[in-house]
Structure formats: structure tokens, C-alpha cells
Chain A
């Protein structure tokens, strides 16, 4: 497996060879011009919609008012340095937002990371056929349902007279105000997000398992290994490197909660545990019109996120040969 992985992900030594067919300099020049012309619309689009907003980040260091250019040289721009950063960090919401964002992503990671692995191991033990296919198809399905629909379903289920409380009452307990008690929000978030993604996240493991040489299993059986032993000694080693890489990058994503989902399912009663950085930027920065401070907040989180990713990538490159860059 290890060599296969290496072959798959190692940077190949690609040689840029000019085929040597007497292409005159002039011809290759027009050739290049033609090629750049083909790309031009795409390059311009990326410049406008990716690079200009990056440049727009400078408003985090200004007192920006809508309608003004990001930078003007007539002295109308009020540069305020790190004011918005320090204000946010010393402000009342900083701790809550950081803790909430970390808590929600951590729960999802802690419970959500291993479930796809166990699920893939289970699927791998089923015989090929209709049932196996059906289970897989069913498990991938929630991934393709829109966030709005999932949120709508969750909201109606956790209502006082919703499905969850109907079940609770069937056991003779009092209904729980799941949608207004902040203590329950992390659990609701975690369960829903795992439900959405566990099947889909098992695909990479399944594909790694599928590439195991069946003769290995045969040999193991000849040696008297039972199914459990086969799983421990053949199947699990075959996905080890996949587990490792995905684990590292899951750690890299520890400060990125699913903002869209939270935006749809939270309400002021549960802000205490549900309000995360992404939702705060949307609510206070965009809707509240605090463009500069909102941008400062998102710069803080993207910096932390990128630092985490960078660390993850460095570790991965060192130990597994697979790196993003």
C-alpha cells in the first residue's frame, strides 16, 4: 500500500522537453499569444472575483464607509491601524465566539472522524450485491440534500411537538425545549453534520480497500486467519495512510464550523453556544454594516486557519509524503 500511495501522491519528476520540432521563435510566440488569449477571460474573471476582494481586505485597517474606494490618495481614507483587531479581541464576544467555533468543530472532528472508518470497514465486510450497493447509496444521500432542507428538517424535528420530543414522550418523559436550550445545540449540530457526511467521507477509505489484492485475503485464510484477523492485518493497514492524511487535515480544519448550517438553525436563545465567528461576521459585519470590523474578524480567523493548515501540511509532508504544496 505504501508504495502505491507514494506513487499516487509523490511529486513526479516531470521534464519539460521541447519536442525539438523546428518551431521557430516567431511561431511559438504566436502560439503562446493564442493560448493566452484562450485563457484570458478566465484569468480576468479570477482577477476580479478573487484578487480584488483580497485587496479589499485593507478595509480592516480603515474606518471604511460604503461607496468609497478601498484606497484613495486624496486623504479621504481614515487609516486606523489595528484598532478593529484590538477592539474585537478585547471585546465581549471574542472569547465566546472562539470557544463556540472550536467546540463545534472539535465535536464534529472527535465523533465524526472515526465513524466513516468504521462504516467503511463494515461495508467492506458485506458481500457485493444489491444490498451493499443500496446501503452505500443510502449513506451518501444526505450529503446531496441542501443545507436548507436539512436545517428545515432538523428545526421541525427538535420542535417542542416535533419528532424527537414525540419519541421522548413515548418513553414517558417530559418534552425538552431542544430549540431554545443552548445546552443542546452542540449535540444537535454534531449529530446532524455527522449524519450528513459519514457515508460520503467513507468513500476514500472504500476506494483504498478496493485496491487491496484479493490474493492477500486468500493467503491469510490459508494461514487460518479469521475475518476479524483479516480486518486487523490486511484491511486496516491498507487504509492506514489514508487515515493518517485525512486525520492531519481534519486537525487543520479545527476552527472552521459549518457557518451556513448554523446560520439556518440557530436563534438568539442559543447564541451562547451556537454563535460562531462566521455567523458573527455575517450578522454584525454584513447586516450590521460594520464592514471594517467584520473584515478584521475574518482576517483573524483565516490567519489562524491558515496557520493550522500550514502546520498540518508540514507534518503530512514530513511523515506521509503527501502534501498540498
Chain B
């Protein structure tokens, strides 16, 4: 396995200062064209989101007449008042939070436990363990054998189906291991001299100084679980246990939930207000995506770090 130099690269990646500002002199015409182009691309990227938002807060009549294109018309938050009354939405939110929290903790724990021994230089049979980890990255049993296995283990249709199979990510183990290899041997040595065993060294010394990499894998795991719907689609028919994305799937894609019938006593009012299904759908999309959109810019640097780390060894 590659260790030494790659470790150095990792170190550089984490300690890299931002590239100095390199202002290029050039014609203002070229500048102008570039800025216009960039602005255009921005618009293309963001407009669909913007459209969804303004549709969700415009007045139902304007939405029905397809009049809303550039800015919200007749500001109206009725559809939000309507969707927050659906208890299924809240239980789905809660379920997702449960899956995210447990899943992230388990993933970090597994990554640390799996990575540490592989970063110890004189571990016997290390080569074989690494091979054992690499093989599943290229070969997998695929959908059906996994499904049969989950069934046989009795995990089908329980919360555990969403938690246990995803608790270990080999990719994370490899990333964390690469990071551990950058930690100077002397730090571990001094712990051993003080009489610490491996477990103590790992959790008292190594883990606290590995926060940057743990932040990266946590962020990726959180977003991965938050956005995952396929696992629940396959393993979790019980709607009470559904995560947010499955709720969205039922409402927005499958359309098996008629939103207007959600809260019976409100049906008449909804019809009166001409609340269209589409508007309710947009409101739900906004409501469930906001946490990602608002937190994402703050964590962007971790995402980018993760992408670059991955490229070192993808």
C-alpha cells in the first residue's frame, strides 16, 4: 500500500493556505464577457430553486394562472400553514434525525476503529486486511442478495435496516487511515511509554487530533443519510418509520398522498383557497430542503476537502 508520500500530500492538503490572489491584467471586454457568462450560469443553477420558492409563497390564484415567473405575486404563506399540520411530516423529520445521528456516530466510530490498527506499522497481516477492505469496493452482491440477507437477518421493515447495513463505510476507513498515517509516530510512542494501551492511545490521543478528517466524513455521512431514500424504499415499507426523503417520495413523486385530504377539517378551506397540489408540493420541497441549503455554505470547505482527498486515491 502507498503510505509515506501520500501521507505527506494529505498533510499539505490540510495545511494548505489559500492560493495568493493572482490578478490577471487583461482587457476589460474579456472580463465583462466572463462575468456575464458566470452570472448566466449562476442563474441557470439557481433559478429552479428560486422558482420553487416563489411558487410556494405566491397567491394560489396567480399560481393557477401560471403567472409567477420572476418574483412572488400576492405573498401568501397558506400552503406552509397547511403542510405543517401534517403529523406525518414531523414524524418523518424526527425519523431522519434519528437515522442521521445514529448513523453518523456509528460511521465515525467504525472508521476510527477500522483505521487505527491499519495505521500501526508493524501489524501482522496488514496487507491481507487491506485487501479484504478493497475487494468490496469493486465487487458487491448487488441489490437482490442484499435484500435477501436483510430479510434473513430480521432487519427488514425495522429501523435497523436503515442503520446497521450502512454503519460501516470502507471508503471512510481508508480516508481516516490515510490521515492517521500523517500523525507522527513519536506522539503514539510517548503515550505507550506512559503505559497507555492501544485503545487508550486511540481515543485519548489520536482521535482528538483527528478532528479535521472526522469533520469531513461526518459531513459526508450526514448529507448521505439525509438524502438517502433508496434504502428505505427497498427495506422499509412501514410508513411510520419512513425518513423524510420517503415522505417526499410519496408526496412529490408517487403522489399517493393527496395533500388536500391530509387534514380533513381543512379540506373545504383548502379548496376554497384554490390551494393547488403543486403549490403544496413546492412548499414541502422548500420546507425539507432548507436545512441543507442554509447549512451547506458553512460546510462547503469540508465538502471540498473531502472531494480532493477522494481524488488522491479514488
* CB of A319 closer than 8 Å to a CB of B: no
Q: Mark interface residues in A136-175 (1 if CB within 8 Å of B CB, else 0).
A: 0111111011111101110111010101001000000000
| B149 / chain A contacts, CB cutoff of 8 Å | 48-49, 52-53, 56
**Other-chain residue from A137, A138, A144, A221 in contact with B292 (beta carbon distance below 8 A):** A144
Size of the chain A interface, CB-CB below 8 angstroms: 104
Q: A151 to B22, Cβ gap below 8 A? A: no
Docked CA distance A100–B102 (Å): 39
| B293 / chain A contacts, CB cutoff of 8 Å | 141, 145
Q: A135 to B139, Cβ gap below 8 A? A: no
* CB of B303 closer than 8 Å to a CB of A: yes
Q: B114 to A39, Cβ gap below 8 A? A: yes
* CB of B66 closer than 8 Å to a CB of A: yes
| A281 / chain B contacts, CB cutoff of 8 Å | 142-144
Q: A46 to B133, Cβ gap below 8 A? A: yes
Contact A139:B45 (CB < 8 A) given known A8-B312, A32-B123, A42-B110: yes
Q: A137 to B140, Cβ gap below 8 A? A: no
| B132 / chain A contacts, CB cutoff of 8 Å | 43, 46
CB B93 to nearest CB in A, in angstroms, measures: 14
* CB of B15 closer than 8 Å to a CB of A: no
* CB of B256 closer than 8 Å to a CB of A: no
Residue of A nearest to B133 (CB): A46
Q: B147 to A157, Cβ gap below 8 A? A: no
Q: A325 to B134, Cβ gap below 8 A? A: yes
* CB of B282 closer than 8 Å to a CB of A: yes
Q: A125 to B24, Cβ gap below 8 A? A: yes
Interface residues of A in 251-295 (CB under 8 A from B): 260, 263-265, 281-282, 285-286, 291, 294-295
Q: Mark interface residues in B24-67 (1 if CB within 8 Å of A CB, else 0).
A: 11110011001101110110111011011000000000000010
* CB of B296 closer than 8 Å to a CB of A: yes
Stretch at the interface among A74-82, A87-95, A200-208: A200-208
Docked CA distance A228–B24 (Å): 11
* CB of A51 closer than 8 Å to a CB of B: yes
Contact A149:B288 (CB < 8 A) given known A42-B173, A127-B23, A140-B300: yes
**Other-chain residue from B23, B42, B153 in contact with A139 (beta carbon distance below 8 A):** B42
Q: B303 to A53, Cβ gap below 8 A? A: no
Q: Mark interface residues in A226-260 (1 if CB within 8 Å of B CB, else 0).
A: 11101000000000000000000000000000001
* CB of B229 closer than 8 Å to a CB of A: yes
Docked CA distance A148–B247 (Å): 10
* CB of B83 closer than 8 Å to a CB of A: no
| B249 / chain A contacts, CB cutoff of 8 Å | 148, 264
Size of the chain B interface, CB-CB below 8 angstroms: 105
Contact A146:B226 (CB < 8 A) given known A38-B113, A38-B202: yes
Q: A53 to B24, Cβ gap below 8 A? A: no
| Interface of B: prevailing SS | helix
Q: A41 to B20, Cβ gap below 8 A? A: no
Q: B42 to A8, Cβ gap below 8 A? A: no
Q: A11 to B2, Cβ gap below 8 A? A: yes
Q: Mark interface residues in A167-208 (1 if CB within 8 Å of B CB, else 0).
A: 000000000000000000000000000010001100110010
Residue of B nearest to A169 (CB): B66
Interface contacts (Cβ under 8 Å), in number, total 273
Docked CA distance A110–B117 (Å): 43
* CB of B274 closer than 8 Å to a CB of A: no
Q: A55 to B42, Cβ gap below 8 A? A: no
Docked CA distance A126–B21 (Å): 11
Most chain A CB inside 10 Å of its own CB: which residue of B20, B230, B293? B230
| A45 / chain B contacts, CB cutoff of 8 Å | 110, 167-168
**Other-chain residue from A51, A166, A199, A264 in contact with B45 (beta carbon distance below 8 A):** A199
Q: A148 to B42, Cβ gap below 8 A? A: no
| B312 / chain A contacts, CB cutoff of 8 Å | 8-9
| A41 / chain B contacts, CB cutoff of 8 Å | 110, 113
Q: B35 to A131, Cβ gap below 8 A? A: yes
Contact A286:B38 (CB < 8 A) given known A14-B1, A42-B168, A306-B138: no
| B227 / chain A contacts, CB cutoff of 8 Å | 144-148
* CB of B94 closer than 8 Å to a CB of A: no
* CB of A219 closer than 8 Å to a CB of B: no
Q: A119 to B23, Cβ gap below 8 A? A: no
Q: B252 to A148, Cβ gap below 8 A? A: yes
**Other-chain residue from B26, B134, B139, B308 in contact with A203 (beta carbon distance below 8 A):** B308
**Other-chain residue from B30, B146, B282 in contact with A227 (beta carbon distance below 8 A):** B30
> Could you give 15 example pairs across A and B, Cβ below 8 Å?
A35-B117, A38-B198, A46-B168, A59-B145, A66-B148, A139-B41, A139-B45, A145-B227, A149-B252, A166-B69, A217-B24, A260-B229, A264-B249, A264-B253, A306-B139
